[in-house]
Amino acid sequence: MGDIDIYLFDQIARGRFDDRRAVLDAGCGNGRNLVYLLSQGVNCYGIDRDAASIDRVQALAARLAPGLPQEQFVTGELDRLPWADGSMDAVICSAVLHFSQDASHFLAQLSELWRVLAPGGLFFARLASTIGLEPLRGTRAGQCACLPDGSDRFVVDEALLLAWGERLGAELLDPIKATNVQETRAMTTWCLRKPAGGAR
């Protein structure tokens, strides 16, 4: 499984990727969340703004899935994806959306990720939030904030995620879950399904 996000592992263990033929890792980094999927013959795609990371993902794919075209892993931005509407059966976006510059940038990226997701597709995201993080009490979600660990992140809360999911016409697959890491940061799991009608 490599160094897979444990919450993504949970989704895989529950069978939610069993029938996903095309999977995009948006903000794939070095490909830690793709190791298992590549080894299982899933048609994987990846995008990251760091060209060196894409070089490493291409090398990983060449080793684990040598028949996969290297062109499926590209350098780029999440608000300008190069793939067609509805081309991905699942989109993974782990620890990426909290690097958004502001709410407009966040929604532009979310809109693109949703656009390439096929009807019935799975959207999995992990991102920073204010949920259960007492030192951030009073901090308004939907903006950048300085977290107690010293990092600056775009933070969300439950109300925003529910509202944005409703705006997309999405089905919430799991209750929104947040992990508080010793009061230094909170990471929240957001798991949606695109309706068969493909609402946006």
Tell me the pLDDT of the chain (200 aa) as tens digits: 888 999 999 999 999 999 999 999 999 999 999 999 999 999 999 999 999 999 999 999 999 999 999 999 999 999 999 999 999 999 999 999 999 999 999 999 999 999 999 999 999 999 999 998 888 888 889 999 999 999 999 999 999 999 999 999 999 999 999 999 999 999 999 999 999 875 55
In the chain, the number of structural domains is 1
Q: What is the dihedral of CA 156, 135, 4, 13, to 10 degrees?
A: -70
> Quick check: is 1 in a domain?
no
Chain-centroid distance, C-alpha 160: 16
Let me know if residue 47 belongs to a domain. Answer: yes
In a domain, 199, yes or no: no
pLDDT of residue 167: 95
Specify if 122 maps to a domain: yes
Within-domain flag for 35 = yes
The pLDDT score that the predictor gives to residue 198 is: 52
Is 155 inside any structural domain?
A: yes
pLDDT at res. 199: 53
69-74 — which CB contacts under 8 Å span 24+ positions? Answer: 72/43, 72/44, 72/45, 72/46, 73/28, 73/45, 73/46, 73/47, 74/46, 74/47
- The CATH number that applies at residue 20 is 3.40.50.150
Residue-level pLDDT at 190: 98
Range of the domain at 85: 6-193
Q: Is residue 200 part of a domain?
A: no
In a domain, 75, yes or no: yes
Query: What pLDDT, on a 0 to 100 scale, did the predictor assign at position 12?
Result: 96
